[in-house]
Each structure stands twice: as C-alpha cells, then as structure tokens.
Structure 1
Amino acid sequence: MLKNLFKKKEDMHNDVTLVAPVSGELVSLEEISDPVFAEKMMGDGIAIEPAIGELVSPVDGKIIQLFPTKHAIGIEAENGAEILLHIGLETVNLNGEGFTAHVEEGKKVKQGDHLLSFDLDVIREKAQGTIIPIIITNTDDMSSIEPIDVKQATAGRDEILVVKK
C-alpha cells in the first residue's frame, strides 16, 4: 500500500500540465508558416494566436533564459521539461521594441505569474506574425507531449499541454 502511495507521487512529479501562457486561439505547430517551428526542429509543442499582449508562466518552474530582445523566454518545469515561449515570428529583429520583461533569469515562477508584456500592434506592423509557439526544447528527454483538445484558452487558467518525463 505504501509502495503505491510513493509511486503515485513519483509519477505525478514526472508529469507536468501547462496552462495557456497567453489568451487566444490554439494552433498546431504544423500550421505555423515558419518551418523551424512547423517541422518541430526546436522540439514539439503547440502554439497560440494571442488575443492580448500579456504572457504568464504556464508552469511552476525557473526562468532559465530571457533573450536580450525579450521576444522569447525559457522556463524549466519541475519535471525537467524545458519550455520555450517565443512571441511572434521574426520578432528577434525588433531588438526589444514593444516588449517589457517582468522577470529575470534565475527567478523561480509559479503557474500564472506575469512574465512579459508585448505590443501586438508593433508585432503586427514590424514582424512576420504574432503567433506564440510553446516548444518543449528537450522533447527527446520526455516520454510524451500531448496537446489537450481545446480551441480557445485563457491565460493562466486553461490547460493546453501535458508533458510526461
């Protein structure tokens, strides 16, 4: 009986469920116009076409990378999944214009914590697209990455992806 109790805890620690980091419409990676994401060269995941310019943490974890241009952020989840949140397509070329970071590298975050603000109008005008890929960059270290069947999601509330180690 105790063995089963400990096994359940261990299994739970190996699974992490991501909530939407931004409110909007869910899109499969294959539908993204950028082949780096569409062909899963950086890893598996899902994407969201954002309705608002606010990004929150999809998991409890630690900020492992905040790009100097603030267009992307990396989070390590408690099960070791490395999650890349990439705001828009070709947004690195904006050199930080329209982006405000609310966290820094090394900071521990809780699911729903405010990470970044971004100006959708600037991105629409000056980048290739506003879609936000949510990529598990260490896909090969995970046993499965399963999208949850939802079409619309609210940031910090709706579950969108289950990642199992």
Structure 2
Amino acid sequence: MFGLFGKKKKQVSIAAPITGKAVALDQVPDAAFSQKIIGDGIAIEPTEGVFVAPFDGTIVHLIDSHHSLVMASDEGVELLVHIGINTVSLQGKPFTPHVKSGDKVKKGDTLIEFDIAQIKEAGLPTITPVIIANGDIVAELKAHEGNVTAASSPVIEITLK
C-alpha cells in the first residue's frame, strides 16, 4: 500500500488479547458492537480467563469495574477490549486487574484476569469485543476468525491512513 507521493503506508498487526475463538462482530449480542456503532474489529469467545496486551503500548483507561479498557499502540491505534456483554453489572467481582490507567505494557503482559464461570453463572455472555476505537486513522482493516492464542495469533491487521 502506497499513499501520497508513493510513501509506504504503515501496517499494524494486533495479536489476540485472549485465547479462544475469534468470530465476526455480528455474532455479539449487543447492537453497539454487532452493528459497529462503537467501531470495527472482531470478537473472541474466551476459553481462558486471561486478557493480555496484544501489542506494546499504554493503558489509556481502565474502566472502574475492570471489565474493559482502552489501550494505545506506539503507532497511535486505540484498542477497546470489553470482556463479556453487560458485565459492568457484575461491579468488578469476576475481574482482577494487573494494570492501571497510564501504565506502559509489553505485548503478552497480563492486563486483567477474569472468571469465565462466574460471568456465565450470572447469565451473561462471555464473548469479548476487540474494537479499534479510533477508526478514523484506519485506511483498511482485516479481521481474522478462528481459534486464536493470546499474544501470538494475529486477529486484526490494519493499514493506517
């Protein structure tokens, strides 16, 4: 991909933040995610309750109930990861954060541990949207479905504008 004056456009690969099965966003039982109102990306049905950094970057904002956070890559990509659907109602109980807003992290660092069984016992879906929060900087986005391993399987590849 070449932009204005033949300059090569920046490619960014985002690894899976959670081990499980990556599926299209339209599988998420929440219109804000399934209709890409919040942004484009992918969702992961977790098989392990560990959320790791999918790239080197900074924690922009850890939500108070610890079910979601936004992190930024060194290239400026902002990623929103939301563990489960309507999990804010659990008031943080199944979530153990290992970071706080402002922390610098390396790919593979544990960010949040979560109890899948506790989320399911509450009757809530565990499917986890992984969204590019600042889609305005993205020229092209490719999401990869299938079984994924945290910190190693690429789930989103983007070309920056």
TM-score norm. by structure 1 comes to: 0.89
Map of 1:129 onto structure 2: 125
Structure 1 gaps, min length 5: 1-6
- Give 1 or 2: higher helix fraction: 1
Q: Which amino acid aligns with 2:58?
A: K
**2:70 match:** 74
Shift of 1:127: 4.6
Once residues 34 and 78 of structure 2 are traced to their aligned partners in structure 1, the CA distance between those partners, rounded to angstroms, is 18
Deviation at 1:88, TM superposition (A): 0.1
Partner residue, 1:59: 55
Alignment correspondent of 1:163? 158
Provide runs of 4+ in structure 1 moved above 2 Å: none
What are the ranges of 5 or more consecutive residues in structure 2 without an aligned counterpart? Answer: 1-6
Displacement of 1:53 after TM fit? 0.4
Cα distance between partner residues in 1 of 2:155 and 2:44: 10
**Equivalent residue in structure 2 for 1:116, among 112, 119, 122:** 112
RMSD: 1.2
Q: Is the 8 A contact 1:15 1:79 kept in 2?
A: no
Structure 2 partner of 1:4: none
Cα shift at 1:164: 1.9
| Number of matched pairs | 154
Structure 2 residue identity aligned to 1:120: I
1:90 paired with 2:105, answer no
Q: Which amino acid aligns with 2:108?
A: G
Alpha-carbon separation, structure 1, partners of 2:21 and 2:69: 20
Seq. identity, %: 40
Post-superposition Cα deviations, 1:137-157, rounded to whole Å, max 9, x if no partner, equal 111221111113x41001111
